[in-house]
Structure formats: C-alpha cells, structure tokens
Amino acid sequence: MRRKVIAVILGGGQGTRLFPLTKMRSKPAVPVAGKYRLVDIPISNCINSGVRRIYVLTQFNSASLNRHIKNSYNFDVFSRGFVDILAAEQTPESKNWYQGTADAVRQSIHHMENHSHEHVLILSGDQLYQMDYRKMMKKHEDNDADITIGTIPVVAEDATGFGIMKTNKEGFIESFVEKPDYDDLDQWKSETPEKFKKDGRVYLASMGIYIFKKDILNDLFAEYEDATDFGKEIIPEAIKEDYQVQSYEFDGYWTDIGTIKSFFEANLALTDDLPQFNLYDNEDFIYTHARMLPASKLSGTTFDHSVLAEGCLVEASRIERSIIGIRSRVGKGTTIEHSIIMGNDFFQSQEEIEQSTDDNPPMGIGQRCFISNAIIDKNVKIGDDVRIAGGDHLEDGEYEHYHVVDGIVIIPKGEIIEDGTKI
C-alpha cells in the first residue's frame, strides 16, 4: 500500500458555502472539534492506512494551511513520506486556476511523476469520517477495477443532494446520475445490506473518494481534455465507456461538512455521550499540530455535554452542548449553549488584559454574557454583558460585526463585540 499509492486531497475552491469561516483561510484550514483542522481528517486517515505520500491541492488563502501542515506533518527521513501543498500555478500548459476537481488533479499530476506509484487515491478535504483505505484498496485490486468509488447508502431525502450510483450484482457501477429529482428515485435503488435497507438507505451516494489506476487516470484526462469535474464528467464518461468502475460501500459514520449548517451540526454531535465520530480511539488517531499547552482550568462552571480543548481559562456559570477550542478565555457569570468557540491563536499577557478598554476588550468572552447557537471564530474579543442568541427568528445576512447563516450567528476571526451588545 505504502509504495503503490499516492493520495491527493482536494482543498476545494473559494469555500463560499463555509464563508465567513473561509474569509481568511482555505477550507481545509477551518478549525474543527476544538483543536484540529478539517485537513487533519483525511491526512490522519491516510497515515492510519499506511499512505504517507500525500498532496493537498489548494488555491485560496493557503498561508495558514501551509503553516499548519509544515508544523504538523514531518516524517522521518527513512519513511520517504510527505504532506505537500500544491497551490494552483501557471504553467506552459495552463494559465488558469483550478476549474474543478478533475482539473485540479490534471494540473498537478506532473508533480507526482517523480514518485513511483500504481494508483491515485483522491479525497475531499471537507468531510468528517474515519476510514481504512487499505480495505478499499484491497477490493480495488482483488476485482482489478479501473476505478473504485467510495459510496455510502442514504435515504431518499438525502439522495437528491448527491451523485447516485446504480450497481450490478458484482458491485460494478452500471449508471450514475448527479443529484437526481425526487420523483425519479425509484429507478436508482440498489441492493444494500439488510441493516441499511430497513432504514430506507437504498441509494448509493458518492462520497467523493476515488481510487484510480494511474494509467487509467492519465488515459481519461487525455480522452476528455476539457472535463473539469470528476463527479459530473469524468466518472459518468468512464461508466459509459465500459471502464471497470466499482462501488466500495462504506458502512461507518460519514458526513459532508461543506456548509455552515453541516459544519455546526457535525461539531455539536461530538458532544454526544457516544458520538458516531470517535475521537477516543487507541489506534486510529486524529493527528494535528502538537502544541505545548497547559491543561485547561475551570472555576465554578457547570459543564455538560461539551468538549474542552487545552489551554483554556473558564470561569463561566454554565457551558452546555458546546465546543470550547484551544486557549479560550470565558469570564464569570457567562452562559454558553449549543455553540462553537474556536479559541485563540495565542495567550494575551496580563499587562495586555489590564490595558483593555470598553471598545477593545480582552481576547475571549467577557463576564455575564449569554451565547447560544453561535460560532465564535478565533481571536474574537467579546466584552461584558453581551447577548448573542441565534435561531430561526434571525434573518440570514451579513451585518457590520457578524453574519447569520441558517439562524446561526457567526462572529468572524478577530472581530470585536463591545460591552452590552445584543444580537
């Protein structure tokens, strides 16, 4: 596996569906689960699967992502492993930025020729799941497939938002449709295991995870030189041309977190008693930048179904079903519920805190605040007696110091919310 495969993680485009979290960073660099970045998920899956030659393709706001990867993933000289960023670049062959998933890989593939490999594993950078790619690779090789697509059974209500596959008895894909109409779904049912069938999960949705034989990928790029997207163009054409395209059905937890709402829900789901995404595994670690931070300190706080990262100073009255990120500071008398607090990039000194003013409070969340249904990005300064109450009663939009998306209030990175503000 280690010598046969090169992994390519698609960093996505401008990340508009995750704006304003992507205002100052690329999508793979968005913080998740209190201490990680989105890109840590596919990279960790690769490392746990023995894949240690990894490229991350990106083109927007890549500075913080570059910094994170450089500080986090350094393999020893004997493993020959690497995690490299490939940002969009002008070449004699192309003057354009990446135009889609397939175009991004096509423009970057010449960098991979320096490394011996037989297969290319293509992954998305905005999904939350734990997967052993060795199992997918084994099925790929055992059946001598040209392309293997990771699929997951979904119900009818979700099927309209995905590319849906129809397989034969041998598990090879006979047809594919991108985001079918609800009224047409009957013809797109597939045979799925009984545990999925009883829940109505009879539609095989593409996870955006592909294994290509290297030569087949090159042939498809040459044959369809104007195709820019795997899901909309390359995969459907490969199926029509009778390439051996098979489904690998994944039966674990998987969620696409490409929107603010899905990002919010996936994070808060980590506070469940037994979350479906397991951060507490003895073998399949989620790796990230190793920070030398002190243990967190709580004083007088009722802390219920919440996740607390390192380096936090919390004096809140109550924190419920929330994610509290690294180096967070929360003042006395404050209540936080159903929210994501991303934390801070650094500690303020005591002198800096003492020099704060009403219109420039210390970094963190002040005293006697109430925060509900909100995402507080990094390095935000929230004063005392601030009330932020997200919900359906709020109109979506971009306001002076905050955004509202699907009723969720988002305070962008580095923003200042003055004392007594009510949202």
Does residue 278 belong to any structural domain of this protein? no
**Residue 223 falls inside a structural domain:** yes
- The yes-or-no verdict on residue 43 having pLDDT over 80 is yes
Of 229, 253, 271, the residue at which a domain comes to its end is 271
Considering the domain boundaries, does residue 288 fall inside one?
Answer: no
CATH number for 259: 3.90.550.10
Kindly state whether residues 234 and 367 are assigned to the same domain: no
pLDDT of residue 1: 59
> What pLDDT was estimated at residue 27?
86
pTM for the full predicted model: 0.93
* pLDDT tens per residue, range 115-133: 889 999 999 988 999 999 9
| Structural tokens at position 169 | 């008895």
- Kindly give, in sequence order, each residue whose CB lies less than 8 Å from that of residue 179, ignoring residues fewer than 6 positions away: 160, 161, 162, 163
Considering the domain architecture, whether residues 102 and 198 belong to the same structural domain is answered as: yes
Across residues 276-283, what is the average pLDDT?
Answer: 89
pLDDT > 70? residue 257: yes
Please tell me the distance from the alpha carbon of residue 124 to that of residue 365, in angstroms, as a whole number.
34
**Residues 236 and 379 both lie in one domain:** no
Q: How far apart are CA 344 and CA 153, in angstroms?
A: 38
Note whether 146 and 67 are same-domain residues: yes
Instruction: List CB contacts of 383: < 8 A, sequence separation 6 or more.
Output: 358, 361, 366, 417, 418, 419, 420, 421
Q: Does 412 sit behind a cis peptide bond, omega within 30 degrees of 0 on the bond before it?
A: no
Residue 280 lies in a domain: no
- The answer to whether residue 95 scores a pLDDT higher than 60 is no
Number of domains within the chain: 2
pLDDT of residue 370: 98
Structural domain harbouring 50: 5-271
- How far is it, in rounded angstroms, from Cα 175 to Cα 154? 17
Does residue 382 come out as left (phi exceeding 0), alpha (psi in the -120 to 50 range) or beta? Answer: beta
Local confidence band at 153 (pLDDT 50, 70, 90 cut-offs): very high
Tell whether 250 and 383 lie within a shared domain.
Answer: no
Q: Comparing 77 with 183, which gets the higher pLDDT?
A: 183
Indicate whether 251 pLDDT > 80.
yes
Q: Tell me whether residue 284 is in a domain.
A: no
The more confident residue out of 78 and 305 is: 305
Answer yes or no: do 25 and 166 share one domain: yes
- Is 262 a member of any domain? yes
Strand order in the sheet with 416-417: 297-298, 313-314, 329-330, 364-365, 381-382, 416-417
Mean pLDDT, rounded, of the chain: 91
Number of other residues whose CB lies within 10 A of the CB of residue 1 = 15
> Are residues 329 and 366 part of one domain?
yes
CATH of the domain at 403: 2.160.10.10
What's the rounded Cα separation, in Å, for the pair 143 and 146?
A: 9
Flag whether pLDDT at 3 surpasses 80: no
Q: Distance (Å, rounded) from C-alpha 367 to C-alpha 203?
A: 50
- Quote the pLDDT of residue 98: 65
Residue that terminates a domain, selected from 229, 256, 271: 271
Q: Is the pLDDT of residue 284 over 60?
A: yes
Q: Based on the domain organization, do 402 and 327 belong to the same domain?
A: yes
- Considering the domain architecture, whether residues 198 and 257 belong to the same structural domain is answered as yes
Do 43 and 78 have their domain in common? yes
pLDDT at 170 (0 to 100): 83
What are the residues facing 272 on neighbouring strands?
none
DSSP for residue 138: H
Banded pLDDT at 273 (limits 50, 70, 90): very high
**Strand (E) or helix (H) holding 248:** strand 245-249
* Residues 217 and 317 both lie in one domain: no
Residue 333 lies in a domain: yes
> Helix 214-223 vs helix 101-112: angle between axes, to the nearest 10 degrees?
130
Establish if 344 belongs to a structural domain.
Answer: yes
Q: Are residues 314 and 202 in the same domain?
A: no
Six-digit token string for 15: 């990340």
Digit-coded pLDDT (tens) for 367-378 = 999 999 999 999
Residue 358 is predicted with a pLDDT of 81
Helix or strand or coil: residue 64? helix
Query: Which of 207, 236, 271 lies at the terminal end of a domain, its last residue?
Result: 271
